[in-house]
Chains A and B, each alone.
Chain A
């Protein structure tokens, strides 16, 4: 029962480096989401994808890009990491009354 799988679980980047966070789901969901979690801020939506081939900005998209590679996979890319992007990132899939979250990626930018 994999659900939503995120890789890596932890990552340390230097300012200016790039990286891609991977997310895959086996729930056959059309919709997928990327959130970031910061202390005292809850989870905020970065980008989402309603279906394969479509992506849309959420509340805090600046500094990020996404790719919906296929129905299963939705990746988040940081082209030039900044300390303000230090956060815990969660991927999710689903819609309506049911969502499944990944276990998160803890990213530190130094």
Chain B
């Protein structure tokens, strides 16, 4: 079965500084990988996803992520964070069964705090 580990429960970053959120996954084949963001009391917003091709993926709000098969990682980066980036971030891995439902397995999330 697939699994996702987000090693950092909380991360504090100064506004304007760079950000990297870590994500490691376990899956037997090439995975579909996702990053979602959730503001307090809100639903999930898709930041970006990887399913094939270029291993560096660009997303919305200036985020990018790099798929590294050798490290089973899909870390999320942003060169300069804004106060509005404070939120909960979830990494997820999707299986592709070739038929029927797939579904996503989520990490436990990383809470991002932005210091002024």
Contacts and interface: CB of A to CB of B under 8 A. Distances in A.
A95 to B, nearest CB: 4
A49 interface: yes
B101 A49 contact: yes
Contact of A44 (B44, B49, B94, B106): B106
Interface string A14-40: 000000000000000011110100001
A42 interface: yes
Interface residues of B, number: 23
A42 B92 CA distance: 10
A33 B101 contact: yes
Q: Name the prevailing secondary structure of the B interface residues.
A: loop
Chain A interface category by residue count: 20 to 34
Interface string B63-93: 0000000000000000000000000001010
Interface in B29-88: 32, 34, 42-44, 49, 51
13 contacts: A31-B100, A31-B103, A33-B101, A41-B108, A42-B4, A42-B106, A50-B100, A95-B94, A95-B101, A96-B51, A96-B94, A101-B43, A102-B43
Interface of B: 4, 9, 32, 34, 42-44, 49, 51, 90, 92, 94, 96, 100-109
